[in-house]
Structures are given as C-alpha cells and as structure tokens.
Structure 1
Amino acid sequence: MAAQISKKRKFVADGVFFAELNEFFTRELAEEGLAVRRACYGVLRFIMESGAKGCEVVVSGKLRAARAKSMKFVDGFMIHSGQPIRDYVDTAVRHVMLRQGVLGIKVKIMLDWDPSGKIGPKKSLPDVVNIMEPKEEPLITQPSSEDFQRPPQDIPVASTSPIPQQDISADYTTTEFAT
C-alpha cells in the first residue's frame, strides 16, 4: 500500500473508496491499541462521507477481554437479499492475527446509484419508483367523439326517418306450469 495515509485520522488522502481499504484502516487502528468502538465509528464516518449509501462493520473475536464477542456498527441504508446485493454491496472479510487471538473484520459498503456507472451500479434498485411529469393535453371546450376503427370519411350519417314500432305483446304468451 503505497498510499499517503494521514497520521491523525488514518485515511487515504486521495479518497479511494473500497471495502478492502477500510478494512485495512480498521486493522491498523486495532493493532495500535485504540478502542475498537472508536476505530469502527471513525471508519464508518469516513465511508459515509465518501459517498456511500450505507455501511456495516462487524468486528468479532477477543476484543479486550478473555471472552470473544462480536460488535456490529451500522450506518445508512443497507440491503441484505436479492440480486441487487450483488450489484450494490461491496464486501471485504479479513482475519487479523493478534497476540491474544484472531480478530475477524467484515466491512460491507452499499454503493449509491450512478447513472454513468463509474462509481456505482448503472442499474437502479428495483423498488425505486420514478414519477414522470404528465404530458400536456389540449384543453377540451366541446364534447367530441372519435371512432378509431374506421377512417373518418367512412362514418355513416344517421338517417332522419323514424323506426317503425313492432307489437311485441303477441310474442309473449302466458303459460301455466303443472305442478
């Protein structure tokens, strides 16, 4: 790692944004004897300031006591299932060998959607709904009707002669049903 690292804050000066680098910073801070909670919150804050949509850091092992435990630090929005996790979440897992035992460090970074596809996935999340502006429609001043089945010149003109009435009473006769 030939990157320029700040001594006070322990992050890369050029702002490189990968889960492995953030895992490296967590390991460096843990080896120097700083509090794990303070180191993880510093890494979490740096990831979120770099433009991530969400982040999760999990440190497990013998942190300061003889008994092992796991600490999870979460910030922002994180998805955990489906195809978008393969597109949006960058994951790094490392094992740090210390004098008292092994620490496991997992860093998950959820990238933000980028339409150009340079710093994030080009596809948007499947549950994102884009509301479009409605099209401009002409103002209707009079009622009108259109027949989309036939061309306009084939429309028949209604006749003005009256329709003859039929006597329908002769068609219906009453019948008695035998019970």
Structure 2
Amino acid sequence: VQISKKKFVADELTEDGYSGAEVRVTPTRMEIIMLATRTRAALGEKGRRIPEWTPVAQKRFGFPEGSLCAIALRYKLLRGLAVQRPCYGVLQFIMESGAKGCQVVRAKSMKFVDGLMIHVGDLVNYYVDTAVPHVLLPQGVLGIKVKTMLPWDPTGRTGPKKPLPDHLSIVKPKDEILPTTPILGQKGGKPEPPTMPHPVPTA
C-alpha cells in the first residue's frame, strides 16, 4: 500500500522535481511527506493543488472524509494563515457536503462549531467521526481535532441506520376515498326528518 501511495505522489510531482516520498502510519492517521526540488510549483498557487488531490486520494485509497479535511486544514496552517480563516473554510466545506454538524478544536482553546453535535452517549460511536492531525509550527506542535456528525440515513450509505432518540418521522396520511353518491340513510332505511327547534315561551 505504501508503494502505491509513493507512486501516486511520484506521478503527480513528476514535472515539479520529485525526489522522494515518506509514508508514516499511526493508529489514528496516515501522513504522506512529499519531497520536491520546486516546492512552490508542487503546491501550486496558494496551495490550490492540495484540495485538488483530496478527492482523488480519497477515492483511490479510501481515506475518511473527516481526515482529509483535517489534512487540508493542517497544510493551510503550515502556510502561515490565521487560524480563523481556514477553520471556518473547513466548517463550510463539511456542512455543504451534507454533514449534520461539525466542530474544529484548536489546542483546547478555540472552538468553531456549526450545526448539531452530540458529545456523550453511545450514539457518539455511530454518528461522530473524529480526526486529529498535528501541525509542527515554529512555536511548537499544534493539535487540531475535527469532529463531523453524520446525518441519519435509513439505508446506511451516508450515515448510521439507527435514528436519534429525539428524531421525529412524519408519516404521509393515506388518501381518503370519498363517496361518489350521497348517503340518505343508514342501512337502506328511510331518512330521518330534520329536528325542529322547540319554541321558547315568552312572557
């Protein structure tokens, strides 16, 4: 698998002075370090090639969507951008992709939240995907936690089949069959005469 990932990087950076790649695998994440003689050409203008490689690598190697967004956020921070701008950009991208909620936590001091997010209970194991990349900045190692809450999907394709306890499903009512002919009486009997109001005596 590592050889295929290195070959993928080599094919992408052939024209940009590719000189090697290193794959680091940990229990929580996988890092691919690319070595090139022309780093600016490899990343593209303002790092635009990173988001272009994201869907390709996801389909080819089966990366989780949350970890790919976290990796993109990691590279944005490495380029020296302010924290707020890339975090809000990741939030918007995840919510537009169909997530029910998202949360980005920077060093336990800054939180960026959008949508609905559950934190406790057994449903967290089914509804929440978590990715924790690490960024080596001049001031030290910075940890970023990206949590994505999946939507409920009865088919189990985009989310868990088990609904939330407070989920309400509105059932469409059945079409009522209206009678085509007027009903004058019950069981073929004669129609009852209308009741007349009793006169009220006046003094």
TM-score under structure 1 length normalisation: 0.63
In 2, Cα distance between equivalents of 1:51 and 1:112: 7
Q: Pick the aligned partner of 1:8 from 48, 64, 87.
A: 48
Q: Which has the larger radius of gyration?
A: 1
Aligned to 2:164: 125
More helix by share: 2
Q: Pick the aligned partner of 1:89 from 125, 128, 132.
A: 128
Where structure 2 has 5 or more consecutive residues not aligned to the other structure, the ranges are: 13-42, 59-63, 180-184, 187-203
Sequence identity, in percent?
Answer: 55
In 1, Cα distance between equivalents of 2:81 and 2:160: 35
Aligned length: 135
Q: Pick the aligned partner of 2:68 from 21, 24, 27.
A: 21
TM-score under structure 2 length normalisation: 0.56
8 Å CA contact retained: 2:77, 2:135: no
Classify 1:87/1:72 alpha carbon distance in 2 versus 1 (closer, same or farther; 3 Å): same
In 2, Cα distance between equivalents of 1:124 and 1:15: 31
Higher relative CO (Cα under 8 Å, sequence separation at least 6) belongs to 1
Superposed CA offset, 1:47-97 (max 9, x none): 11111010000112xxxxxxxx72111111111111111110001123222
Classify 1:39/1:77 alpha carbon distance in 2 versus 1 (closer, same or farther; 3 Å): same
RMSD: 3.0
- The answer to whether structure 1 residue 57 and structure 2 residue 104 are counterparts is yes
Classify 1:20/1:118 alpha carbon distance in 2 versus 1 (closer, same or farther; 3 Å): same
In 2, Cα distance between equivalents of 1:131 and 1:15: 39
8 Å CA contact retained: 1:15, 1:50: no
Classify 1:83/1:113 alpha carbon distance in 2 versus 1 (closer, same or farther; 3 Å): same
8 Å CA contact retained: 1:18, 1:90: no
8 Å CA contact retained: 1:52, 1:111: yes
Classify 1:133/1:45 alpha carbon distance in 2 versus 1 (closer, same or farther; 3 Å): closer
Q: Secondary structure at the match of 1:113?
A: coil
Aligned to 1:34: 81
The 10-residue stretch of structure 1 (101-110 or 126-135) with the greater mean CA deviation from structure 2: 126-135
